[in-house]
Amino acid sequence: MDGRLFEGLVLAVFLAVAAIVDYRTGLIFDRLTFSMAVCATGFRLYDGVGTLSLVLGLLAGGAPLFAIRALSSGGLGGGDVKFAAAGGLWLGWQGALLSLVLASWIGGLTAFFLLASGRRSRRDEVAFGPFLSFGIWTAFLFGERLLAYYWELCYG
């Protein structure tokens, strides 16, 4: 089995479990996030990625959400912050930032349509984990192409 395929299957399991559990319970458990971070670190070190790259990915994934959590009044859970940081370990700093942008866009559009349709009110919580899972998965599969397209479009 190709290493990238195996890596993708492992990541898909983590993302699916996190999305389903967060959707149903509103929680992303630390054991899941820690296991995801350990696997990501193992895969990255096996691929020859340096420690600095791992730290930058961790920070790019977690720091923006940590700042949002700190500045807002509880609008984002701590599990989301740790989950995004683990995703950053998996993706590197550019992929981590891309995953956050994708998750925010899809999450924002979904929230807009839920509000507009009356299915949710402004006081209702919407789990962010499924959107983070979508963003991480999309960045894993298509991140290099999406970033190359963006750079060509903006600076090409």
Q: What is the pLDDT of residues 34-50, one digit of tens each?
A: 999 999 999 999 988 88
Could you give the number of structural domains in the chain?
A: 1
Grouping H, G, I as helix, E, B as strand and the rest as coil, residue 102 is: helix
Q: What is the biggest distance separating any 2 CA atoms in the chain, rounded to whole angstroms?
A: 50
Q: What is the pLDDT of residues 100-137, one digit of tens each?
A: 999 999 999 998 999 899 888 888 888 999 999 999 99
DSSP symbol at 76: S
pLDDT band at 3 (very low <50, low <70, confident <90, very high): confident
pTM of the predicted model, to two decimals?
0.93
Please state, rounded to an integer, the average pLDDT across all residues of the chain.
93
Which pLDDT value is given to residue 119? Answer: 85
Check whether 1 has a pLDDT greater than 70.
Answer: no
Residues of the domain holding 42: 3-155
CA angle 71, 84, 27 (to 5 degrees): 80
Cα–Cα distance between 19 and 23 in angstroms, integer? 6
